[in-house]
Structure 1
Amino acid sequence: MKKKNLLFVMPSLSAGGGEKSLVNLLSQINFDLYNVDLFLFSEKGELFTLLPKEVNVIKPKKNHLIFTTELKNSLGSFLNNRQFHLAYSRIMFTIKNRLIKNSNISEQYTWKYMSVSFDILEKEYDVAIGYLEKSSIYFVVDKVKSKKKIGWIHTNYSNSGMNYKYDNPYFKQLDKIVTVSQECANALTENFPDLNNKIKVIFNIISPKMIRKLSNEEIQDTYLYEKKYINIVTVARLSKEKGIDQAIKSCKILVNKGHDIKWYVIGEGNERERLEQIINNNNLNNNFKLLGIRENPYPYIKKADIYVQPSRYEGKSIAIDEAKILGKPIIVTNYRSAKDQIVNGVNGQIVEMSEEGLSLGIEQLIKEEEIKDNLVSNLAKEKLGTEEEINKVYAMF
């Protein structure tokens, strides 16, 4: 049987949930049936080394690489080569990004300027997948020749801040719109009722065997996890929607009550400077640590006493599924899709979305060992692998 040609499109392989989901999916692909290309806007990313060797990575051409350099350098290069349309697009890209404060909307409305730096791909595919909302999907629609086109949405669209009027003409050109939970599917249906027949739920693919194996590695920060402290871990991008500011303030409440807390956040993002300031202002430098990216976060989760997801909104959090696999007592805020992963009081605790709600939930697990043990016991009985979701992916192909 002739192999089908697949293309996945992603901005980069940084250590985000969507990126991790893609690497997990590609690790399950049957390469005897499919040739797989991966187009990345940037080769940067902590997860790059985890790609299966069978995946062919396609790099953007020179114009896009120049476009993404500093404004002065990119303008100089384009003007010297009399590429005036690219110079104009680069200027407009910068202006729009500075004027539009919402990062999701700015990515939407700057696409038309960035898109001129990409060529249409020469190869024709059987299936092309924009594996992340916004520019990955726009690229598949505008720059790829394919018999079938699929867009993947990893967030709750209603809470994302994206403009549905911009996405609507793109989504109409897709054969399928995949999302990662039923709550996320409901949000898409609310925003795009005419496209309901295209929407499909496929859960993020996770492998308990792989996660447990990786969790046994030694952590690189040997000074962490002192036994006299309650050690809390959060894995999240440092961005407003992840609610790390709420976590810091809840940590302050717990410390003021006399609890010995060490709270570690694994992840990076554009909120780092603001979050560091909040940590400093609350005198929590010894209690709340932004560790940055860790290529293997699993030993950090395994060693924790409690896992906390303080988000304002999520699609379907891979980090929560990973914490469940590692048997951690879990606390999440009551964002809209929390109940897709956590049954309150059974396999985790869902608390009010505030610093007070978080601190009360954490304090309950600290004081009431029986509740904590019950959560862990229930997780041990739960079926947590989702490798079979790859069959839903094949069915679309």
Structure 2
Amino acid sequence: MMRKKILFSYYSMDIGGSTTSLLSLMNNLNPEKYDMYLILYRNTGALLPYIPKHVTVLKPAVKEKNVWQNIKKMCRILFSSTLYKGLFYQIKHKEKKYPVTLFSEMQAKYLSRKINMKFDVAIGGMEGWSDKYIAYRVDADIKMAWFHSLFSKISETPKLERDWIERITYIVNISKACEYDFLNCLPQYSEKCIIIKNMLSQQLVSERADEIIQDKEYEEWKKYKGFKVITVARLDPAKALYRVIKCAIILKEKKYDFKWMIIGDGGEKETLQQMVIENNLEQHVLLVGAKMNPYPFMKESKVFCLTSHYEGTPVTVKESMMLGVIPVVTRYKSVTDQIDNRRTGIVVENEDTTVADALCELYNCEELQNEIRNQLINMIFDEKATIHCVDEILKNK
């Protein structure tokens, strides 16, 4: 029986939940059944060393050419139908900006090289370039585009997405809530939709959490004996991290012995730092930037907190649960798929200071802490369903 060829496309191996999910999927597919390949737009990112050895990493998709070839490339974009599709949309909807989604389409169609290989299946690991690249530049019998977030939040112009979606075999959403949101935008593609939950290897998470790291901030975090709350997230508006400051003010006013660490980088960093200083929270809220391995920090924490306005099915919540760290999250559409409220975590209403109430309760009730932590420690995270879905798709090819 011939081994089938799978291509994964992904932008870069930067730290993030979807990257961890991709690594887990590549680690758990049987290398005796499949020849696996990975193409990145750029072969960069802190998690490059974690790519499994049985996966062949191809040359990057971005075409690094000389000046003349770059001029030709820009001319192709200037005279492309994609560019004018966006301009016509902007003229028709005068109040709208140029559709951001078309930039990743141009990047996939005109700035990325085609692979001279045929694959049984090509999997776009994330919305944006990864999915559009397999639509336009890859020859495969089956093409699977993966959405890790709510489609309505990542595309303000669903009608302009139809061209590349027509070229895709399956639209993979990671939860029922995400699929419902997608079909609310583009109901005509219901037959393409399937649900495959995010793959996450408990073994991989545990191994990385036990790695020895040389980091002064980690040593200080480990030594601190107070109430430790951690948030691992991009510092962007969707994560609503200003809520951390508002909640920290409440905890400080109650004179609680706590520290709240935020791991991550992004455009909101300066604003958050300024809020920390203005509210004299330097001893309580720690903005430490991105960490190559955040898991040891998570493992040393009592609570993992997510304050987002909205989420798809956040991988970091599952990671915290695997490490026995209590998740406290604002309500998002798929939250009941992940957390059994007050049993395996705490879910609060999606408002600015509701997280503070849950943290106060946990701070004052060690019994509740222990009950939830014991549930998490005894949970079994079975990822076989995800592998089975991919196997079945390939089997029925």
- TM-score band w.r.t. shorter chain: 0.7 to 0.9
Distance in 1, matches of 2:287 and 2:79, equals 34
Residue identity in the other structure for 1:272: K
Find out whether 1:60 has 2:54 as its counterpart.
Answer: no
**Stretch moving more, 206-215 or 118-127:** 206-215
Q: Deviations over 1:108-151 (max 9, x none)?
A: 12134423122322212111111111221111111111111110
Residue in structure 1 matched with residue 300 of structure 2 by the alignment: 303
Residue in structure 1 matched with residue 71 of structure 2 by the alignment: 83
Distance in 1, matches of 2:346 and 2:70, equals 60
Distance in 2, matches of 1:162 and 1:350, equals 28
Q: Deviations over 1:33-58 (max 9, x none)?
A: 11111110011111111001121112
- 1:202 Cα offset (Å): 1.2
Question: Counterpart of 1:44 in 2: which secondary structure?
Answer: coil
Residue in structure 2 matched with residue 19 of structure 1 by the alignment: 19
Question: Counterpart of 2:219 in 1: which secondary structure?
Answer: coil
Residue in structure 2 matched with residue 182 of structure 1 by the alignment: 176
Residue in structure 1 matched with residue 103 of structure 2 by the alignment: 110
Find out whether 1:390 has 2:387 as its counterpart.
Answer: yes
- Cα gap change, 1:320/1:82 in structure 2, threshold over 3 Å: closer, same or farther? closer
Distance in 1, matches of 2:38 and 2:100, equals 21
Distance in 2, matches of 1:290 and 1:227, equals 16
Residue identity in the other structure for 2:28: Q
In 2, are the aligned partners of 1:225 and 1:231 still within 8 Å (CA)? no
* Residue pairs, 1:208-227, within 5 angstroms: 208-219=202-213, 220=215, 221-227=218-224
Distance in 1, matches of 2:70 and 2:375, equals 65
Q: Given the alignment, which residue of 247, 251, 256 partners 1:250? A: 247
In 1, are the aligned partners of 2:105 and 2:132 still within 8 Å (CA)? no
In 1, are the aligned partners of 2:330 and 2:347 still within 8 Å (CA)? yes
Give the TM-score taking structure 1 as reference length. Answer: 0.87
Residue identity in the other structure for 2:277: N
- Cα gap change, 1:293/1:106 in structure 2, threshold over 3 Å: closer, same or farther? farther
- Cα gap change, 1:35/1:243 in structure 2, threshold over 3 Å: closer, same or farther? same
- 1:27 Cα offset (Å): 0.6
Q: Deviations over 1:260-308 (max 9, x none)?
A: 2211122222322222222222222221112222232222111101111
Q: Which runs of 5+ in 2 are unaligned?
A: 91-96
In 1, are the aligned partners of 2:232 and 2:262 still within 8 Å (CA)? yes
Distance in 1, matches of 2:43 and 2:206, equals 28
- Cα gap change, 1:387/1:90 in structure 2, threshold over 3 Å: closer, same or farther? farther
Question: Counterpart of 2:144 in 1: which secondary structure?
Answer: strand
Residue identity in the other structure for 1:346: R
- Cα gap change, 1:31/1:305 in structure 2, threshold over 3 Å: closer, same or farther? same
**Stretch moving more, 354-363 or 220-229:** 220-229
In 1, are the aligned partners of 2:7 and 2:123 still within 8 Å (CA)? yes
Residue in structure 1 matched with residue 291 of structure 2 by the alignment: 294
- 1:65 Cα offset (Å): 3.8
Residue in structure 1 matched with residue 364 of structure 2 by the alignment: 367
Question: Counterpart of 1:355 in 2: which secondary structure?
Answer: coil
**Stretch moving more, 48-57 or 182-191:** 182-191
Q: Given the alignment, which residue of 147, 151, 157 partners 2:151? A: 157
- Cα gap change, 1:55/1:106 in structure 2, threshold over 3 Å: closer, same or farther? farther
Residue in structure 2 matched with residue 10 of structure 1 by the alignment: 10
In 2, are the aligned partners of 1:206 and 1:385 still within 8 Å (CA)? no
Residue in structure 1 matched with residue 50 of structure 2 by the alignment: 50
- Cα gap change, 1:373/1:105 in structure 2, threshold over 3 Å: closer, same or farther? farther
- 1:245 Cα offset (Å): 1.9
Give the TM-score taking structure 2 as reference length. Answer: 0.87
Find out whether 1:318 has 2:342 as its counterpart.
Answer: no
Question: Counterpart of 1:132 in 2: which secondary structure?
Answer: coil
Find out whether 1:267 has 2:264 as its counterpart.
Answer: yes
Give the root-mean-square deviation of aligned CA atoms.
2.6
In 2, are the aligned partners of 1:313 and 1:337 still within 8 Å (CA)? no
In 2, are the aligned partners of 1:8 and 1:37 still within 8 Å (CA)? yes
- Cα gap change, 1:43/1:90 in structure 2, threshold over 3 Å: closer, same or farther? farther
Distance in 2, matches of 1:365 and 1:346, equals 13
Question: Counterpart of 2:220 in 1: which secondary structure?
Answer: coil
In 2, are the aligned partners of 1:316 and 1:337 still within 8 Å (CA)? yes
Residue identity in the other structure for 2:71: Q
In 2, are the aligned partners of 1:105 and 1:162 still within 8 Å (CA)? no
Q: Deviations over 1:231-274 (max 9, x none)?
A: 11111122221222211221122112211221112222232222
Residue in structure 1 matched with residue 38 of structure 2 by the alignment: 38
- 1:89 Cα offset (Å): 4.0
Distance in 2, matches of 1:2 and 1:203, equals 28
Find out whether 1:137 has 2:125 as its counterpart.
Answer: no
Question: Counterpart of 2:350 in 1: which secondary structure?
Answer: coil
Distance in 2, matches of 1:277 and 1:383, equals 42
In 2, are the aligned partners of 1:331 and 1:361 still within 8 Å (CA)? yes
Residue in structure 1 matched with residue 373 of structure 2 by the alignment: 376
- 1:107 Cα offset (Å): 4.3
Q: Which runs of 5+ in 1 are unaligned?
A: 67-76
